[in-house]
Structure 1
Amino acid sequence: MQKSYFSIPLSLPFHIVALNATFYFFIPETYGNGLEGIIYYNLAWFLTTHSTNFYATVRRQVFTIKEKSFFTLFVLYGMAFFASFTFFGFKDYSPLYLIAVYAFFCAQILILRMFFHWARKIYLSNTVNNTKVIVVGWDKNLKKVRAIFDNPEHEYEYVGFFDNKTSKSPTYLGPIEDCYKYIFENDISEVFCIASSLSKEEIKSLMQIADNSFKRIRIIPDNKEMFSRAMSIELYGTVPVLNLRASPLELEYANFVKRVFDIVFSIGVILFVLSWLVPVVYILQKFDSKGPLFFKQKRDGVNKKTFLCYKFRSMTETNESDSKMATKGDMRITRLGKILRKTSIDELPQFLNVLRGDMSVVGPRPHMQLHTEEFQSTVDKYLVRHFLKPGITGLAQIKGYRGEIIDKSDIVNRVRYDIFYMEKWSFKLDLRIIYLTVFNALSGEEKAY
């Protein structure tokens, strides 16, 4: 995730304020006859900026001021602006006056864009970059690749390159076989591979290591026929780069939409459900068993960052809480706990984690740390799921892979669905998972114990 996460989206509300303030003060009739005008002008702005990709949201898009982009935007929005006076019958303004108002609005947008461009450039130049990258392989394209890292807009810190051909370059780090050890010892986050310099076996080996060690790998492709389900070609200027683990959630606007939904949804649950459910569960627990209201456990979140996961306590307190998963007929589960777990009510306090930003409503389920340590060394691609925030529910859960892990196929299939979710995320998919989670909880689930 870029450290300048809000630098681009932050310009949007300033533009909206400029739009509404200009039209309100200079053409007040458009805002004085109900909500139609307000909705029309703001919706038209969102549609035209989206269609022209005015708000660049991914790392490879450079936040610049392009004449063609502005011209296209101003022409399209201008058509919507002037057409509104025909649609709504506003007749109190002369054409020259309206042209002057629209020109004034366009000038504000241009000035604001220049300001944010300048401010973002200053911010990036003074920000220490922690996204350390190396290049594996060398050919004539290495100089072009270096241009990716030298541009502060892309927020990379280039360390050097590995290649079997020795080089006098100060950034030469050694032969390719040494790169594996170097990646781990120097906290390298991303690896760029020049495919033309590598054999298919070397690329497969790097892919395997990256997927199982929580590293990102990007390939500058040639014709070595390396394909994966989630790969995408990304253009850094004119240099094509093959991303083998692409996800829609790499887009800033997608993360923004998901986070806004998480906040709104969790606040709703906290206010309308937990506000009365917490005292009810507390009272029932006092009659049922001794112990605290909440069970708190350290779990690994996005980027393997540790957080405290909250649940309603459903078991008696023992020394096995952080080492043994609940099993069918588990004697540790209390009478009240059986009801809480069967209905998944015990998971509801995790909406506090969602509001805090530790979790999302939908995502891979977080595991206790002991199991994370076990699975990352025994389950292929297990760590890939930690590129996302963990969720209260997820695709694997609605597909039947929740709760106790009896066979190795249970965790293998859970990881498979988690990776599929990461690669195919959409807001519609999140809503479907939430709906099916509620439906399954009400109808009863076989592994809910």
Structure 2
Amino acid sequence: MKQKKSIFIRPLVIVIDLVLINAIVYFISDKEYLNFPFLFYVSIFWLFISYYTKFYNVYRYTHVSRLITLLLSQFFVFSLAYLSYFSLFKEGQIINNQFFVFALIFCSISFIKFFVFFLLKKYRSGGMNYRNIVFFGGMNSAKKLEKLFQNKSDLGYRFYGFFSDKTYKSKFFLGPTKNGFKYIEENNIDEVYCDPTEISQSLLIKIRKFVNQNNLELRLLPENKAIYSKDFILEYYGTIPILKPKKLPFERIETHVIKRTFDIFFSLIVIVFLLSWLLPILWFSVKLTSKGPFFFKQQRDGINGNQFVCYKIRSMEINKDADIISATKDDKRITKIGAFLRKTSLDELPQFFNVLFGDMSIVGPRPHINVQTKKYINEVDNYLVRNSVKPGITGLAQISGYRGEIIKKSDIENRVRLDIFYIENWSFFLDIKIISQTCFNFFIKEEKAY
């Protein structure tokens, strides 16, 4: 789609800002500070502060007053971090022209900020970098949107028309709501707008599910009471209030960066300080009590359904049903040492290598064997939502008691429900809580640990 090119604008602006900051410090600052530690310090703090001030969260509908607010808040905090370097590492001595250097950085970044902002507006006014939109609702609200996007061409929207179960005589009336989904797919529509007062709740749920599946944007024209909904962000397009759904945690790139960094750090600690001496002991125990390989390897579903080889310590006798039937209570295939490994979850330890390789995460939905995935896709609502993130060694469902054998349908439904809750409500501290509870469960007897 045409608007997808705009995803490169923000990274490009960030790179330009960092190059400017480093160039100014390098060429104008005192020779004493032309070193990697100082440049790294400045760059890291700039990115860190911009994340919390949302300095780069500038959209096509952002007002210039918001731009000024972002600049002032960013540079106020950045000035403290910048000048703190001299207090922390140079005993409070500010060398010669550092205030001038900082002022030059402020002026340069501000110029780039406004230049890009107005350049994009001019570009969109010329009919480029546009987004195609349709509306579900009545004609009055549709007219407001059409007039807004016509008068403010610099926003870069093309209004195709509206769908309603009432019939209207208007060139923008596209037909009943049931025709909307096919129309959206055939006309490369990028954003869908709805008036909740004009359409049914069931249709709104259906639209929201459709836009999520097709990677589209959803916007609502709010009722007064909806303006304060915690699940939406209120924005103004001119004088018209618009609600957009808040992004889920895993729709943010910073979530993946934080989670991957933690995964690498944590898995390396476990591999170096635990597995380096424990695996040889377990290898000897497994090989002594049964014939077969030490590691058990099995294809599992990873993120977006991509297959990966999941590693475990073999806990069963070699059997042809390993990829078809999961372990059950009093399973005859489980060896004596295997029973201990499964009770303590020590058989899962090799999956820290999967985490290090990037196939899994420390915390996430547990990966099921392929035959179970094929079975539950058709039986459990939203089952495939689990595949939108990396599978985990442990997860919210596991510490809540939903692990092991699936005996009745409610077992898998509750597991999926908790997995989806985790995906929609992820936080770093939730991961820490799940890991802590998993460690605690190691020392207690779990009913379904077999």
Q: TM-score, normalised by structure 2?
A: 0.71
Partner of 1:233: helix, strand, or coil? strand
**Which of 351-360 and 434-443 deviates more?**
351-360
| Alpha-carbon distance, 1:427 to partner | 0.7
Structure 1 residues 69-95: Cα deviation after superposition (integer angstroms, max 9, x where no partner): 3344334433554576678331653xx
C-alpha distance in 2, partners of 1:410/1:320? 22
- Residue in 1 that maps onto 2:126: none
Structure 1 residues 217-238: Cα deviation after superposition (integer angstroms, max 9, x where no partner): 84524449889x9832364856
C-alpha distance in 1, partners of 2:174/2:52? 44
CA distance 1:322–1:294, change in 2 (3 Å)? closer
Partner of 1:195: helix, strand, or coil? coil
- Work out whether residues 315 and 332 of structure 1, in 8 Å CA contact, stay in contact via their aligned partners in 2: yes
CA distance 1:284–1:160, change in 2 (3 Å)? farther
Structure 1 residues 95-137: Cα deviation after superposition (integer angstroms, max 9, x where no partner): xx2332223444665688799999x99xxxxxxx9x9997655
| Alpha-carbon distance, 1:437 to partner | 0.8
Partner of 1:396: helix, strand, or coil? helix
Asked whether 1:74 is paired with 2:75, we answer yes
**Which of 7-16 and 421-430 deviates more?**
7-16
- Residue in 2 that maps onto 1:231: 231
- Work out whether residues 298 and 323 of structure 2, in 8 Å CA contact, stay in contact via their aligned partners in 1: no
- Work out whether residues 376 and 383 of structure 2, in 8 Å CA contact, stay in contact via their aligned partners in 1: yes
Partner of 2:342: helix, strand, or coil? helix
C-alpha distance in 2, partners of 1:186/1:158? 12
| Alpha-carbon distance, 1:337 to partner | 2.0
Letter matched to residue 231 of structure 1: D
CA distance 1:182–1:293, change in 2 (3 Å)? farther
- Residue in 1 that maps onto 2:92: 89
How do 1:230-269 residues align onto structure 2 when only pairs under 5 Å count? Answer: 231-233=231-233, 235=235, 240-243=242-245, 246-269=247-270
Partner of 2:443: helix, strand, or coil? helix
- Work out whether residues 313 and 350 of structure 2, in 8 Å CA contact, stay in contact via their aligned partners in 1: yes
Percent identity (aligned): 40
How do 1:106-117 residues align onto structure 2 when only pairs under 5 Å count? Answer: 106=106, 109=109
Partner of 1:262: helix, strand, or coil? helix
Asked whether 1:289 is paired with 2:301, we answer no
How do 1:149-228 residues align onto structure 2 when only pairs under 5 Å count? Answer: 163-164=164-165, 175-178=176-179, 193-206=194-207, 218=218, 220-223=220-223
Partner of 1:342: helix, strand, or coil? helix
Letter matched to residue 324 of structure 2: S
Letter matched to residue 423 of structure 2: M
| Alpha-carbon distance, 1:356 to partner | 3.3
Partner of 1:372: helix, strand, or coil? helix
Unaligned runs of 5+ in 1: 122-128
Partner of 1:378: helix, strand, or coil? coil
C-alpha distance in 2, partners of 1:396/1:242? 30
CA distance 1:84–1:109, change in 2 (3 Å)? same
- Residue in 2 that maps onto 1:386: 387
| Alpha-carbon distance, 1:369 to partner | 3.0
C-alpha distance in 2, partners of 1:158/1:278? 62
- Residue in 2 that maps onto 1:124: none
**Which of 421-430 and 193-202 deviates more?**
193-202
Partner of 1:270: helix, strand, or coil? helix
CA distance 1:7–1:348, change in 2 (3 Å)? farther
C-alpha distance in 2, partners of 1:9/1:46? 12
Partner of 2:378: helix, strand, or coil? helix
- Residue in 2 that maps onto 1:101: 101
Unaligned runs of 5+ in 2: 122-128
C-alpha distance in 2, partners of 1:12/1:23? 17
- Residue in 1 that maps onto 2:124: none
Structure 1 residues 164-192: Cα deviation after superposition (integer angstroms, max 9, x where no partner): 46799999876433556789999999976
Letter matched to residue 438 of structure 2: T
RMSD over aligned Cα atoms = 5.3
Letter matched to residue 300 of structure 2: K
Q: Which protein has greater RCO, CA pairs closer than 8 Å, 6+ apart? A: 1
Letter matched to residue 98 of structure 1: Q
Letter matched to residue 419 of structure 1: I
- Residue in 1 that maps onto 2:125: none
Asked whether 1:421 is paired with 2:422, we answer yes
| Alpha-carbon distance, 1:371 to partner | 2.3
Partner of 1:443: helix, strand, or coil? coil
- Residue in 1 that maps onto 2:441: 440
| Alpha-carbon distance, 1:358 to partner | 2.8
C-alpha distance in 2, partners of 1:158/1:272? 60
Letter matched to residue 379 of structure 2: T
- Work out whether residues 222 and 242 of structure 2, in 8 Å CA contact, stay in contact via their aligned partners in 1: no
CA distance 1:316–1:382, change in 2 (3 Å)? same
C-alpha distance in 2, partners of 1:212/1:322? 33
- Residue in 2 that maps onto 1:402: 403
- Work out whether residues 394 and 433 of structure 1, in 8 Å CA contact, stay in contact via their aligned partners in 2: yes
- Work out whether residues 296 and 312 of structure 2, in 8 Å CA contact, stay in contact via their aligned partners in 1: yes
CA distance 1:233–1:443, change in 2 (3 Å)? same
CA distance 1:407–1:56, change in 2 (3 Å)? same
